[in-house]
Amino acid sequence: MNNGNAMERLYNGLIKENPTFVLMLGMCPTLAVTTSAMNGLGMGLTTMVVLALSNMMISMLRNIIPDKVRIPAFIVVIASFVTMVELLLEGFIPALYDALGLYIPLIVVNCIILGRAESYASKNPVLPSLFDGIGMGLGFSFALTCIGAVRELLGAGEIFGLHIMPDSYVPCAIFIMAPGAFFVLAALTAVQNKIRISGEKKGKDMSKIQSGCSEDCMNCNEKGCSHRFYGEGKESEQK
């Protein structure tokens, strides 16, 4: 386990363990708000601020919070920061506040934030935790901006509101609707996997530094994991 330095944490969050394309966390805002590149970027940066601050705060408090009530304690910390960010957005960037709407308070239950608090910030010193939050947040922003840009390009012929496609292009409206989010997410994840697999073939170390394992083994596909645990329900079904 490598607690690492700041740059390594940033690289980890942005590429190796990209929360959207690799860990598949935070799917709700990923699918819902990425109707345009601007919305995706706004959501990503908002989440990044909360993530960095809550990681830092939880890391500071990690020796004080009793283990049994750690989840409620994390939620209180996260919710406080989300409320602050929400009020700031409403005051200073009302356009973004209107565009994101309900999804700003929903950052509280974004599993990336709780996941990083649980699996990283509550076990590591303050500075790496802060950079872990920034790295993960940048990865999330990057992913959301990519998805938003592709959806906006195909669904409206624009990127960041700039008209890109020729006038003869007929916008494919499904891409700015809900199904388009799934298509684009799946396609971009496939591209990401392709890059990772060809990197592995060339002998590069593409393994995860520290997985975002939150003991949800049912949905985990990490084959080498020593904690692998099979639910009792499955075995009884086989009998």
Among 179, 197, 216, 218, the residue binding other proteins under the rule CB under 8 A is 179
Choose the binding region for other proteins from 1-9, 18-26, 43-51, 176-184 (rule: CB under 8 A).
Answer: 176-184
**What secondary structure does DSSP assign to the chain, as a single string?**
-----HHHHHHIIIIIT-TTTTS---HHHHHHSTTSHHHHHHHHHHHHHHHHHHHHHHHHTTTTS-GGGHHHHHHHHHHHHHHHHHHHHHHH-HHHHHHHGGGTGGGGG-HHHHHHIIIIITTS-HHHHHHHHHHHHHHHHHHHHHHHHHHHHHHHSEETTEE-S-TTPPP-GGGGSHHHHHHHHHHHHHHHHHHHHHHHHTT---S-SS----S-GGG---TT-TT----HHHHHHH-
Which stretch, 75-83, 101-109, 129-137, 172-180, contacts other proteins (CB under 8 A)? 172-180
Assess 167 for contact with other proteins (CB under 8 A).
no
Region from 71-79, 171-179, 191-199, 223-231 binding other proteins, contact rule CB under 8 A: 171-179
Residue 11 near other proteins by CB under 8 A:
no
Q: Which of 170, 205, 227, 232 binds other proteins (CB under 8 A)?
A: 170
CB atoms within 10 A of CB 51: 32
> Quick check: 174 binds other proteins (CB under 8 A)?
yes
CB 192 to other proteins: min, Å = 16
Binding part of the chain for other proteins, among 85-93, 129-137, 158-166, 177-185 by CB under 8 A, reads: 177-185
Among the listed residues 175, 181, 185, 212, the single contact to other proteins using CB under 8 A: 175
Nearer to other proteins, 19 or 180 (CB): 180
Contact with other proteins (CB under 8 A) among 7, 69, 177, 197: 177
- Residues 173, 191, 197, 225: which binds other proteins (CB under 8 A)? 173
Phi first, then psi, for residue 201 (nearest 5°) are -65, -35
Distance of alpha carbon 121 from alpha carbon 69, whole angstroms: 16
The answer to the question of residue 165 lying near other proteins (CB under 8 A) is no
Enumerate residues 18-37 that contact other proteins by CB under 8 A.
none
Between 24 and 61, name the residue whose CB sits nearer to other proteins. Answer: 24
Q: Is 191 in the site for other proteins (CB under 8 A)?
A: no
Is residue 7 involved in binding other proteins (CB under 8 A)? Answer: no
DSSP codes, 26-58: -HHHHHHSTTSHHHHHHHHHHHHHHHHHHHHHH
Residues at the interface with other proteins (CB under 8 A): 170, 172-175, 177, 179, 183
